Amino acid sequence: MIELNDNKKERGNSDLPAKTGYVIELISLTSLFFMWGFITSLNDILIPYFKNAFELNFTQAMLIQFCFFGAYFVMSLPAGKLVSFIGFKKGIVTGLVLASIGCLLFYPSAALTAYPLFLLSLFILASGVTLLQVSANPFVTVLGSPQTASARLVTTQAFNSLGTTLGPLFGALLLFATSEADSGIESVKTPYLLLAGTLLFLALFFSKLRLPDFGKSTPHLNTPNANKGAWHYRHLKLGAIGIFVYVGAEVAIGSFLVSFIQSAGITGITETQAATYVSYYWGGAMVGRFIGALVMQKVRANRLLSFNALMACVLIVITLSSDGNIAIWSLLLVGVFNSIMFPTIFSLSLHGLGNATSQGSGILCLAIVGGAIVPLAQGMLADSLGLQPAFIIPVLCYLYILYYGLSGYTPSRPQRTDRTCLDSMEKQ
């Protein structure tokens, strides 16, 4: 629930224009988007690494994503309630500390060579990331004009993609390169200890940083439908489904990339080389987000979302019907069109929620559980029908996003003031 007071105590001049008033705050928040992108994409390297180390099938290996993204399902609503009491800033600091604890637990997990303990560590790590998401995403949307919320969130998400691009390279270097010389599980310790230290440093930094006191519950807030719960908004509920299928499709593709590249008929590729291809997938999303932030100044957010969803469907169909380099690069190019989907669905879904924004953010982060369910379903299909045919599941996901961009994003019966803001936002 967003506190939209004038914030004079936090800033010397509350009348500072929104477009220039929160530059330092937005730069600081961008570092968080980078970090959780970096952490999340490391799972794409952990999957083939643990699959070999523990001799797992695809379904068992996908438990990594199931436990990581399952934390969003378990923790998002409690996180939303917590943030409504303590605000965005304290929510960020708490999330960073919790995520660092999850990283530290990788050390005893490796010492005991226990796959279930690794899964628990990932769950705790993801619980911290969930709290970061619930705090930081809506924080970005309120730090400035509502008319540019989508473009602003797309820009910060571009740095999230920078993290997802560098994460696989970091993981391939410290996991596969080491494990090829040492068959043990010990090489997982170093990267996660480094991550734990970085997260603790960020927690200290944000605890000292002066940020606007947004995010706390303000029942007196005078906004349209201020007393209306987030679950009453049709476009939010449809948007939550959109987040579910988008994250599910994006994570499923990334999770299977290393295995797919090694099975696509191109010989001589080691796991380390195949792992580097994952960075092309996430790097495409990074480039696409920078481009998308510019395009959305001229093109309506929902229209760009629909176009990108259609292109993702076309590219995966090409992957399903081909092999070799064509199949691989078609799949990698999906990352470019994934670029603006999450921030666009997120901002369109939160539009007009007013005092229910924190609750709405929690609901949307709850839907990130799609990253647990969809890859697991694709893993089961891959075990039964084969790896390549299993990519039909992401196609179905993108078809729903196409629907949401065409009509699902529209509020059912918006107030006149909401309608004016929506029209303004759509004209970005």
Distances (CA, A) of 103 to 66, 141, 150, 153, 220: 17, 29, 32, 27, 40
Q: 262: domain CATH number? A: 1.20.1250.20
What is the domain count for the chain? Answer: 1
Q: What is the pLDDT of residue 15?
A: 34
- Judge whether 276 and 172 are in contact, CB under 8 Å: yes
**Residue 393 contacts residue 290 (beta carbons within 8 Å):** no
Q: Within its chain, how far is the Cα of 386 from the centroid?
A: 27
Provide the token pair at 297.
């100044």
Contact between 116 and 262 (Cβ < 8 Å) = no
CA–CA separation, 267 vs 28, rounded Å? Answer: 44
The pLDDT of residue 164:
85
Give the span between the Cα atoms of 302 and 262, in whole angstroms: 36
Q: Would 221 be classed as within a structural domain? A: no
Res 341: pLDDT: 93
**Structural domain contains residue 13:** no
Q: Which two tokens stand for residue 414?
A: 């918006």
* Residues recorded for the chain: 428
Provide the pLDDT for residue 217: 54
Is residue 416, in this structure, part of any structural domain at all? yes
Does 71 reside within a domain?
Answer: yes
For the chain (428 residues), the mean pLDDT of every run of 10, in chain order, is 36 37 77 90 90 90 93 85 83 93 95 93 94 82 68 76 86 68 72 94 87 55 50 88 95 91 68 80 86 84 94 96 89 93 88 75 84 94 92 97 91 49 43
What pLDDT shows up at residue 222?
38
Does 90 fall in a domain? yes
Q: Which domain does 377 fall in, by range?
A: 20-216+229-426
In a domain, 5, yes or no: no
Q: What is the pLDDT of residue 4?
A: 35
Q: Taking Cα atoms as reference points, which of 214, 146, 210 lies closest to residue 4?
A: 214
Is residue 10 one of the residues assigned to a domain?
A: no
Enter the DSSP assignment of 214: -
- In the prediction, which pLDDT does 412 show? 61
Q: How confident is the model at residue 411, as a pLDDT?
A: 75
Structural domain includes residue 8 = no
Provide the pLDDT for residue 146.
Answer: 67
